[in-house]
Amino acid sequence: MTSHVRHITIDCADPYALGGFWARALDAPLSGEDRPGDPEVLLETPGAGVLFVRVAEKKQTKNRVHLDLQPQDRSRDEEVERLLALGATLVGDHRRPNGRGWATLADPEGNEFCVECGAAERAALTGSRLPVTADDVTTAVRLAVDVLAKAPAERWEDRAGSLEWTCWETAEHLGDDLFAYAVQLGLRTPPLDREVPYRWTPERAGGPYNAVFADREAGPAGLLATVEASGALLASMARTTPPEVRSYHGYGISDPEGFAAMGVVETLVHTHDLAQGLGLAWAPPAALCDRALARLFPDAPPGGDRWAVLLWATGRAGLPGHPRRTAWRWDGRPLEDQTASSAG
């Protein structure tokens, strides 16, 4: 066994006030147990939390340890302006004309931190793709659940788009997919030649083979709760599994990012099926579709409407200038092992 960093601790005069600034900066909650005036306040960030502790001494000089922030959904400069509006101050500007560099800011008590290029900016500067992340799984699942929660209760037994399953069965299958991808990463030594041996069975002839089923008595809200819970399991496994880990999937031995991307694609396209059956509108973010395409369908056409391309890649729709797919599969292997084999 080894040690893990549990908290990053910051000395300060007012833990609750400073914790509030960082809660807004990082879009993370303060512990529900903490109150104004408490001597310690915990910011519950993924991985190591940030702990603010009251001390009598004032800050004397530059911190020997500081946080580096990388915005995920905005540019570096947009993030700097947002943080300044929250109460930070600009200490040093190291941004360069070519788009590289960083800005050094200080929080309301003078603790320095840096804002680096955003994820998309860094990818553009280095010529690399943006990876699919655990946060992408969470985003996809939460967007889907929020849309599906608007469905009339009486329509859940209608057919889901072009599938042979009902909407209830399709949502149940989606939750089961997310669960299955999570457990493939759960063993100390994940299998490379088989799935984790849960018992997979359909509830009726022609229905999906699942290991996880929702309690019918819980209704649609309970069904969607199982989807969200399974999504959280996959997000947690994708976030905490070392990137060098490999595990079995029928479309190629994959890594944590690959399983996260599979979960995103399953969520986006099955929500499309469900939206058709339930009479709902569904159009996920283009950037999310683009990251999933780059990871699982490297030969997909570049440019254009990325959601339309993902629907084409998964056989759900036509795409101008390209034959409609009647069979398809993604390539779940790590990109260094892939060839252009997703044409299906």
The model's pLDDT over 26-72, given as tens digits with 9 standing for 90+, comes to 999 999 999 999 999 999 998 889 999 999 998 888 888 999 999 98
pLDDT in tens, 247-301: 999 999 999 999 999 999 999 999 999 999 999 999 999 999 999 999 999 999 9
CA angle at 77 for the pair 235 and 101, rounded to the nearest 5°: 90
CA dist 20 → 11, 67, 177 (Å): 15, 16, 37
What is residue 263's predicted lDDT score, i.e. its pLDDT? 98
3-state secondary structure the chain: CCCCCCEEEEEECCHHHHHHHHHHHHCCCECCCCCCCCCEEEECCCCCEEEEEECCCCCCCCCCCCEEECCCCCCHHHHHHHHHHHCCEEEEECCCCCCCCCEEEECCCCCEEEECCCHHHHHHHHCCCCCCCHHHHHHHHHHHHHHHCCCCHHHCCCECCCCCCEHHHHHHHHHHHHHHHHHHCCCCCCCCCCCCCCCCECCCCCCCCECCCCCHHHHHHHHHHHHHHHHHHHHHHHHHCCCCCCECCCCCCECHHHHHHHHHHHHHHHHHHHHHHHCCCCCCCHHHHHHHHHHHCCCCCCCCCHHHHHHHHCCCCCECCECCCCCCCCCCCCHHHCCCCCCC
What is residue 1's predicted lDDT score, i.e. its pLDDT? 58
Count of positions (residues) in the chain? 344
Centre a 10 Å sphere on the Cβ of residue 149 and count the other Cβ atoms it contains: 11
Q: Strand 49-54 relative to strand 40-43: parallel, antiparallel, unpaired?
A: antiparallel
What is residue 4's predicted lDDT score, i.e. its pLDDT? 85
Task: Pull the structure tokens for residue 50.
Answer: 């940030």
| pTM for the whole structure | 0.80
Between CA 184 and CA 251 the distance in angstroms is 14
What is residue 73's predicted lDDT score, i.e. its pLDDT? 81
pLDDT truncated to tens, each residue of the chain (344 aa)? 588 899 999 999 999 999 999 999 999 999 999 999 999 999 999 888 999 999 999 888 888 899 999 998 899 999 999 999 999 999 999 999 999 999 999 999 999 999 999 888 888 888 888 899 999 999 999 999 999 999 999 999 999 999 999 999 999 999 999 999 999 999 999 999 999 999 999 999 999 999 999 999 999 999 999 999 999 999 999 999 999 999 999 999 999 999 999 999 999 999 999 999 999 999 999 999 999 999 999 999 999 999 999 999 999 999 999 999 999 999 999 977 765 444 33
Nearest 5°: phi and psi at 7? Answer: -135, 150
Between CA 55 and CA 188 the distance in angstroms is 42
Between CA 236 and CA 198 the distance in angstroms is 20
Between CA 321 and CA 328 the distance in angstroms is 17
